[in-house]
A and B are shown apart, each in its own frame.
Chain A
Amino acid sequence: MSTVLDLKGVEVCYGRVEALRGLDLTVGEREIVALLGNNGAGKSTTVSTISGVVRSRAGSITAFGDDITSATPWSIVERGILHVPEGRRIFSRLTVHENLQLGGYTVRDNAVIDKRINEVYELFPRMAERRGQQGGTLSGGEQQMLAIGRAMVAGPRLIMLDEPSMGLAPLVVAQVMEAIVAINQAGASVLLIEQNARAALKVAHRGYVLDSGRVTVTGPADELRADPQVVEAYLGA
């Protein structure tokens, strides 16, 4: 399996606070990788650093064979690395359809955008029903689907989801996870940031557990599910 994303010894500081202290992480092609950890472990910082919003102090980030350590956010999106931010961040005053069109901002070909929007509507029929509705009037689960759909319109090769299950009912979490599997089967690699370790490890191939900016445990998802340390800290005995 070829490597899509490779982080080596990445360090990030917010002023004096060290958020990441030498993080090593890889995502393989067509792989779902879960990134677990408590609040403040550095999960979101990891994604922000990959997407170019936060600058790393040391280490290197390689994606699809190119060094993107100091690339700009928009050039990273153009490489097909999409970030679905925490809290969805959909445009509440724009309609579902317009939100999806924003996803295609870096894609200049309207035919491609329309084709991908239709694919999103096939994956999430509910989005098709709500296409004319304002984003802010959707339920939490629908907003999450919209945020994922918006990223899909950009044609991601790697999609990074930051806490997609946050604040959602269990049934809806399951739907979102199903959607992630569907995106993965369609060909994209996935980096899934979750506090909900149980849900994440159900769909992931591999996982990393982050603590204080370092990887403490890593391995295939089923091993992590059995790991006593992980069970105790994240899954509950």
Chain B
Amino acid sequence: MNDDSSAYVRAVEERAPANVALAGKGVGSPKPRRAGLPVALSGLLSSKWLGLVVAVLALALPYLNSSTYIIQIGTDALIFVMLAVGLNIVVGFCGLLDLGYAAFFAIGAYASGVLSTKCGWPMIATLPVVVAASVAGGLIIGGPTLRLRSDYLAIVTLGFGEIIRITANNLDFTGGPNGLYGIPDFGDFGLRSDVAVYWVTAAVVCVAVLFSSRLGRGRIGRAWRFVRDDEDAAEAMGIHTYKVKFAAYIAGAVFGGVAGMLFAAHQTAISPPSFNFLWSALILMAVVLGGMGSTPGVVIGALAISLLPELLRGAQNWRYLIFGLLLIVIMVFRPQGLLPARAGEPKRRRRGGVA
């Protein structure tokens, strides 16, 4: 026993100076040292400017290339980014595995689709209803299920996703299996109509990405991380775990719903197969591929998932095989995701630190 304790003391002593030196330089978290290109690359990727550059690029796309095809896949990709960022709040920030996220996408798309085609509402006026419907959906499914943990939650959300799709398939006012068509867009603002939709989408998605990354860094974001890492310990520290999980779920629902509205305006026609399980799985894939809990990572993951099949068009029939293989290769070499969340919290300004 005595040997043990003196070994412990020695070990502590040996480690201490190095750490004091680290603390003195104000280094936030110990990062494994890497050299050369990777450092430059990760520095670039984690810089604040990257987000701005990507946002400007997204908004400027129609100036760079305004072919119908590019605008089309650009809008698709942006909507997908919004979905991934929304699911990232639920899965990445809070650690709730949601396998039926496409349900909220469907709720948003149908809410705006029904109101605009059957009731003649302008698209933008459906936004409050879309948000309200998503929140209601989140309350109905989240209320009873968020008391459950991981596996059970995944099963219930999986079922919920299917219920919404099958319901849409069987109701009259949702158009049944034919779905809805002739959904208006947001107006053309004197532009080509697909470019107008693109810009509305790009603006909404930029705001959404910014908002989600702010959420993740705020007080609620910290609570989410604590709940994700250890729910019991979080509860022991006075975090209202149920309320905090609910907040994540509702936030994710609203993101999904608004993405659905953008999708309806973009496609002008929606039908139940647009919201099948494959969607939920692909969105989750984007989150995992990008790096759970990392907003920039998830944006990159979503762009990869939505654009890769387009970029691989040259491979013709082989394209989905190559797509699948690429995903596997990425996950083998970057199991934490393309751009994982930092281990530590984002650096806060130190006030009266001891170190």
Contacts and interface: CB of A to CB of B under 8 A. Distances in A.
Interface of A: 51, 53, 72-74, 77-78, 82-85, 89-95, 98, 101-103, 105-106, 110, 114-115, 118, 121-122, 126, 128-134, 137, 139, 141-142, 150-151, 154, 169-172
A91 B229 contact: yes
Interface of B: 1, 4-5, 8-9, 11-12, 16, 19-20, 22-23, 27-30, 222-223, 225-226, 229-230, 232-240, 343-345, 351-355
B233 A132 contact: no
Contact of A102 (B9, B22, B237, B240): B237
- Which of the listed residues B9, B223, B239 has the most CB atoms from chain A within 10 Å of its own CB? B239
Given A89-B232, A172-B5, A133 B355 contact: no
Nearest to A106: B238
Give the top 6 A-B pairs by smallest Cβ distance, nearest first: A77-B238, A89-B233, A171-B5, A106-B238, A169-B5, A121-B354
A126 B12 contact: yes
Given A128-B355, A131-B355, A132-B29, A89 B5 contact: no
Given A91-B230, A93-B229, A170 B237 contact: no
A93 to B, nearest CB: 5
B287 to A, nearest CB: 18
B344 A98 contact: yes
A121 B354 CA distance: 7
14 contacts: A73-B236, A91-B226, A92-B229, A94-B229, A105-B223, A106-B238, A114-B352, A118-B352, A128-B23, A129-B19, A129-B355, A132-B27, A151-B237, A154-B238
A74 B238 contact: yes
Contacts of B5: 169-172
Given A105-B238, A126-B16, A129-B355, 18 more contacts: A53-B232, A53-B236, A72-B240, A73-B235, A73-B236, A82-B236, A89-B232, A95-B29, A95-B345, A102-B234, A105-B226, A106-B237, A118-B352, A131-B23, A133-B19, A134-B30, A139-B12, A142-B12
B354 A139 contact: no
Nearest to A130: B19
A84 B28 CA distance: 26
B145 to A, nearest CB: 20
Contacts of A150: 237
Nearest to B230: A89
Nearest to A147: B233
B237 A77 contact: yes
Nearest to A81: B238
Contacts of A114: 351-352
Nearest to A103: B237
A169 B351 contact: no
A106 B223 CA distance: 11
A8 B232 CA distance: 26
A106 B1 CA distance: 40
A77 B19 CA distance: 33
Contacts of B1: 169-170
B20 A78 contact: no
B225 A139 contact: no
A141 B12 CA distance: 11
